[in-house]
Structure 1
Amino acid sequence: MTASCGGPMGFEVRQLRLVAAIGREGNLSRAASALGVSQPAVSCQLSRLEKQLGYRLFERNDNGVTPTPMGEALLRRVDSVLPLMDDLLTDIEQRTVVNAVPAVLRVGAVCSAIAGRIGGLVAGAVQSGTVSVQIDDCVLRLLDMVGDRRLDLAAIKEYPGYEHPLPPQVRVTAFMADPTAVLLPEGHPLAARDVVELGDLREEEWVLHPVDSSRFHEYLFASCAALGFRPRITHQCASEQASLQVVRNGAISLSQAGSPALAPGIACRLLGRNALSRKHALAWRLDSPLAAAAADLVEELRKVYWHEARDSPLFDHWGTEPSKWELSETR
């Protein structure tokens, strides 16, 4: 069979599934059974596809079929393309069927003390066993994905006075305030204290994550300016491990008190006066089938936060007054 001289053709998803099933089963009859069609139908569809392509994809033999070099090349790509196509089709279906609980619940979460537990909580709240969790520290991206139904809900972090505008139909309830800890080299003079004031860090060299859409850097600089100084950010590291190495060598950094970044050679101390605290919140769409479960989820997430935070070595310095840190702010 020679190559066709016509223009480029477009594959249909059903054709990709056909090729994948034949390649996986190595036999037209078994492929037909896997696809839920007759063996003659599979044979006819394969012949038609090969004619369209101008290449033979499988060699027929007494034991079944064997992919040709062109078939092997196509199979390698089909194996990577089909999961993306399935994800796209599921995404389209979930965004168009507004009033039905989706087959797969898609949950977003930032890195926090509750990130590992939110999938199970959502599954329990709506009696669904299939939950997909996407961990992403970009709050703006998570809110956009909730807004256009690529996510059903998201657990996010916000900073007081620096909250993001919300997409239409999206609501956010903040349920916990989380203190901030400062990370110091073990031998640092401030490591001898249980609580460190933000103003005490005015002469330090800082290592922070690069500026992103979270607005944390705006929050930090405004908080430091109110105390009469500007933090000297000498290192920017996207990697937590790299940041910790810089701290070991003399810089200071910041961490969540509820789930601090602990490592050998580094001291973790609470920042005093609630400096640089953040809010944990849940975002969802008002017209989502999960909206009715949002209030219960908020309560469960609050309980999970306290459960996880009790493992923090800083807990005794701030967690003894729950009402001081529990929030109920909806916008």
Structure 2
Amino acid sequence: MPGLDIRHLRAICAIADTGSLSKAAVRLGLTQPALSAQLHRVERLVGGQLFDRSPAGSTPTELGRYVIGVAEMVLNDVEHLLDSARGRAGRPPSAQPLLVGCMPMPMVAPMVAELRRRVPCSELRTEIDTSAAGVLDKIATGRVQLAVLERFEGIEKRQLSGVQLRTLITEPQFIGLADRHPLASRPVVDLADLAGDHWVTPPPDSNSLLGSLNSACAAVGYSPKIRHHTGEAGTARALIMAGAVALASPCSRSGDGIVIRPLRGTPLRLPILVAIRSDGPLVGRGQEAFAAVARAYRSTVDRNPDFMAWWVANPLEHAELDAALESG
């Protein structure tokens, strides 16, 4: 594309990363007018607006998300080229940025802290996606080098050349109820007793447990009344407080009008996967990265006493995670 430089790609990625022209300008060592001029030049070259600007910040448009995704891959390729060239010239490679894709999980913040401590990188950035398939696409195409996601139906059919996929843990699924729900006072809830309730689930195209939920409910004699679809946690909580029920991560805490309870017999389980690319900043450091994710996950278990009790009672269910902690 004539007139498009590496500095332009770095500029739009910095704006997307910081969510602000002023913050991106500080990061890049530019004045805000100079950065704004670079952004306008890119927008003229691609023929459309890349960001919606408001007093709250800059949010990528649909075109912007596409251009930013490609720009990140190009910049990663440039870093790889420079490191390869330095290696041939006998110079040590520079630290590379580490890009991490993840679904919304309680472990995200501690995972970032653990990775920063254990994996050398020039910077660490995260991309959060409510869709497990979306997270997998990011690592399959090289947009991220490490990903944490839920196993979903059809994942076995995906082409994952250059990606190592490991199971971190198979989580027991708990249930979220309003604290005034008739079953909220029970320490353990029977799935069969939720036959009359309305359910909140993620949209079908991003619901890793839809088939399992239908099968588990069918096994106890009913079809779940799924009345609400949302991938937004605040909306789901509001619907639960209004009387609906929803599956919940066992790391979730009770509070603010909602209780999180285990399901009797653990009828629903969800494998949590870690995907690591064999190229980029994690070359030779895959085990260290897996151990960092394992340590982050383990730090969230104590958030829910019922999950802690399950953890102690079922050591074989998290043996690989424990082994990673010992090795890390």
Q: Same fold (TM over 0.5)?
A: yes
| Structure 2 equivalent of residue 77 of structure 1 | 40
User: Is 1:106 the counterpart of 2:99 in the alignment?
Assistant: yes
**1:229 corresponds to:** 222
- CA RMSD in angstroms comes to 3.7
Distance 1:277 1:194 in 2: 19
Deviation per CA, 1:46-105: give whole Å up to 9, x if none. xxxxxxxxxxxxxxxxxxxxx9xxx99956624877994864531332576797776211
Shift of residue 265 of structure 1? 2.1
Q: Which of 130, 152, 155 is the aligned partner of 1:137?
A: 130
Give the superposition deviation at 1:267: 2.0
Q: Residue 293 in 1 paired to residue 288 in 2?
A: no
Q: Residues 125 and 293 of structure 1 are in contact (CA less than 8 Å); yes or no, is this contact kept in structure 2?
A: no
Distance 2:99 2:2 in 1: 30
**Which residue number in structure 2 is paired with residue 195 of structure 1?**
188
CA separation of 1:197/1:93 partners in 2, compared to 1, >3 Å: closer, same or farther? farther
Structure 2's unaligned 5+ residue stretches are 10-28, 44-49, 51-63, 85-92, 322-328
CA distance in 2, matches of 1:77, 1:201: 55
Deviations 1:204-249 (A, max 9, x none): 1112221124432122112222222210011222322222222222
Give the share of equivalent positions with the same residue, in percent.
22
* 96-105 or 143-152, larger mean C-alpha shift: 96-105
Question: Residues 121 and 281 of structure 2 are in contact (CA less than 8 Å); yes or no, is this contact kept in structure 1?
Answer: no
Of 86, 91, 113, which residue of structure 1 is paired with 2:76? Answer: 91
Structure 1 runs, 4 residues or longer, greater than 4 Å off: 14-17, 71-76, 78-86, 94-102, 161-164
The answer to whether the Cα contact below 8 Å between 2:200 and 2:230 also exists between their aligned partners in 1 is yes
Segment of structure 1 superposing worse, 186-195 or 78-87: 78-87
Question: 2:72 touches 2:143 (CA, 8 Å); kept in 1?
Answer: no
| Cα displacement string for residues 97-146 of structure 1 (whole angstroms, at most 9, x for unaligned residues) | 79777621111111223211222333333322411111112221222221
Among 155, 169, 172, which residue is 1:179 paired with? 172
1:195 CA displacement:
1.0
Measured against aligned partners, the alpha-carbon deviations of 1:27-54 in whole angstroms (never above 9, x if no partner) come to xxxxxxx99xxxxxxxxxxxxxxxxxxx
Query: Residues 187 and 127 from structure 1, CA distance in 2 versus in 1: closer, same or farther, beyond 3 angstroms?
Result: same
Check the 8 A contact 1:178/1:258 in 2, yes or no: no
Q: What is the aligned counterpart of 1:219 among 212, 237, 245?
A: 212
* Separation (CA, whole Å) in 1 of partners of 2:197 and 2:143: 42
Q: Judging changes above 3 Å, is the alpha-carbon distance between structure 1 residues 75 and 197 closer, same or farther for their aligned structure 2 residues?
A: same
Q: Distance in 1 between matches of 2:302 and 2:126?
A: 24
Maintained 8 Å contact 2:170/2:271: yes
Residues paired across the two proteins, number: 271
SS in 1 for 2:275: strand
Matched to 1:134, the amino acid is E
Cα distance change on mapping 1:162 and 1:323 into 2, 3 Å: farther
Cα shift at 1:186: 1.6
How much has 1:280 moved relative to structure 2? 2.0
Bigger CA radius of gyration: 1
CA displacement at 1:291 relative to structure 2? 4.5
Specify the SS of the correspondent of 2:228.
Answer: strand
Q: 1:148 corresponds to which residue?
A: 141
Q: TM-score normalized by structure 2?
A: 0.69
